[in-house]
Chains A and B, each alone.
Chain A
Amino acid sequence: MQPVIRVRGLSKRFGNGCDRCLSSTGPDQESNVCPHCGSVVACNDVSFDLYRNEALGIVGESGSGKSTLVRLLHFEWEASGGSVELHRSVAESVLGELFDADATYSRNLLGLSPFQKRQVRNSLMGIVYQNPFLGLRMQVSSGGNIAERLLGAGWRHIGAMRERSAELLERTEIPVERMDEPPKNFSGGMQQRVQIAKALSNNPLILFLDEVTTGLDLSVQARVLDLIRSIRSEFNLSLLVVSHDLGVINLLCQRTMVMKYGRVVEAGLTDQILQDPQHRYTQLLVASQL
């Protein structure tokens, strides 16, 4: 089996940069700010493969570049370098023009036009943010939030969109009779589940989960995690799970990458990362777990 998405050397630098940025930042220097030019290396040379029906975890402290990575992959921020490619089998039907003849992988997605990037995002990606205000329009009805996304993915029939919204809200345990209410009326856990419903609406291939359970109380957190676990196998999704909570990662992910100061310091099987951590920082992280 080949990976559905291939990421190589993904980097993001804020600031003008100089030739000493990369050598003077990172976990060994314990900083991601270049002392010579003041640029911030938020994420440097991140490479990984993501397969079908697989959850890859990304752990690290705040400021380690986890969320930056997600934002680059979701085309919210422009990357400074690197490549992101999709496998033909998953993307050809929606975006045939991305593939050169005979190529198994698409052209580098980071070089596409803003319109093409939106197309890729709308048809293949879903994202759930830690803060529901980023993923939802709080004043617009929950059904309307989902319809917005469906419109982006090319849906046009109002009845069909309502039906799809109802189906997804039911799946995420939001009472369907409340679909016309705006998310601002909902509790934090419900808002998170509306976000998940919205992210799933276009049948994405890849779902980015950015600290989705952080800040939720324990029982709500448990229900959100149960939901994520069941949708992963049901929809055959590839998940990229960003969290600083090793318990969440252990529950959801088979493989994990550990980030620190914008670099991946260690990657491996989740049970190996937790029981036989190699890097100094990972050992500290695991030893600090309650």
Chain B
Amino acid sequence: MKLLQAIGRVFLAFLGTTGRLTLFALTSVTHCFLPPYYPRIMIRQMIEIGYFSLPVVGLTAIFAGMVLALQSYTGFARFSAEGAIANVVVLSVTRELAPVLGGLMIAGRVGASMAAEIGTMRVTEQIDALTTLSTNAIKYLVVPRIIAGVIMLPFLIFVADVIGVFGGFLVSVYKLGFNPAIYLQNTWDFLEALDVISGLVKAAVFGFLVALMGCYHGYYSKGGAQGVGAATTNSVVSASILILCFNYILTEAFFGL
């Protein structure tokens, strides 16, 4: 009986959280289209997400591209298909690796920071203070972050695409002895607009998810420093899981048979 009660409690808690998150997401998206806007905060968030995340995303992309070229060579050499490495690198990086790995890195860097900042504001009554100052906390705190995430993630991932392909190029040319001109030609020949566009659409969706989860967990955090810590962890874990889920859904939508 106690086991059933425990299962019921967990199920009800799950439903409650899902409902609250859905309402939070709907409210936030609605407010994205309603004034007033806070351009200063939006620009600050765009710089925070877009500019200050460049090193992390760039490093992730270059090493992902390098490893991919190396591993592809190991596998393809067995079938004398080394010529397909450029193809594999550019498709993998633009369609999957750059958006997914970039999204996960942003979830760790930016999502955690959003949850910690908004969570601290919650437990120190700063969000209550916003309300008493006739300022809608969703509009002031959540909307600028969501818009910045949706705009800046595609920009970041486009840069990551270039850097990732460059990483594959470096390994292929300087370690594996490929002809640079032929490698670049192969890369360009195999690349289609949809490969890049699908990655950028994924990036926009991941940007939304990261910002949403960071803001949601921060906004509903409670219990002082421990609560803020839990909100930070939960935001990274939930955003990461959602990124992987939505990556499959979007891949199916773009390339599913």
Partners in one complex: no
